[in-house]
Structure 1
């Protein structure tokens, strides 16, 4: 029983490692919707693995294998988080720009429409 639990834990960490590697590629490609879809499976797998890990007793080789997998998982997770933070900042800038445009339109909308209307009637200005 202990051997099968040990194998299941190491296999679980290997699957988690693969899942994170896929998520990292999606983040690098800017596939944000697909990344979010994958996150659900990742969280389910991590939760299941947490339960298995409580029961497993790993020998030295098993602990080394688990440590190497965790190191790779954490490195990829860090890069994913950095890419998500950059995306969040990008979206924040887009929202700020949109907000400024909306505010300008509210403040100067009628004047801006008059200028556009006048240029249609009289043509572009001469220098």
Structure 2
């Protein structure tokens, strides 16, 4: 039984990490979100291997299902924040492209003077 309890403790750790990742996403702290996600993936692999070896029985299945539901809700929130950030970055890229195009359109042409052929020497 103690080994099955350790599987549940691993799921609880995943939940805590998901909560931290959601908070980083809410704050727009993308660096810490990525770092925490890396730790989360390592822990997830550990949980997967542990669960394969030990399994989960009885009441622990219900507890695991509850933890997984909470984790998935947080994952959905994180995904929503990431999609909003992606859209924001897309808009910033579009603005930057337009500024570059405007700069090119209104940049004065350089006159070709003596010895200037526009090529490399």
TM-score norm. by structure 1 comes to 0.82
Shift in Å, 1:37: 1.0
Counterpart CA distance in 1 for 2:25 and 2:81 is 6
Counterpart CA distance in 2 for 1:56 and 1:66 is 14
Corresponding position of 2:34: 36
8 Å contact kept, 1:24–1:79: yes
Corresponding position of 1:19: 17
Corresponding position of 1:98: 96
Shift in Å, 1:55: 1.6
Counterpart CA distance in 1 for 2:83 and 2:6 is 34
CA RMSD in angstroms comes to: 1.2
Q: Deviations over 1:55-83 (max 9, x none)?
A: 22322210000000000000000110010
Q: Which moved more, 1:54-63 or 1:68-77?
A: 54-63
Secondary structure of 2:108's partner? helix
Runs of 4+ in 1 over 4 A off after TM superposition: none
Q: How many residues align?
A: 109
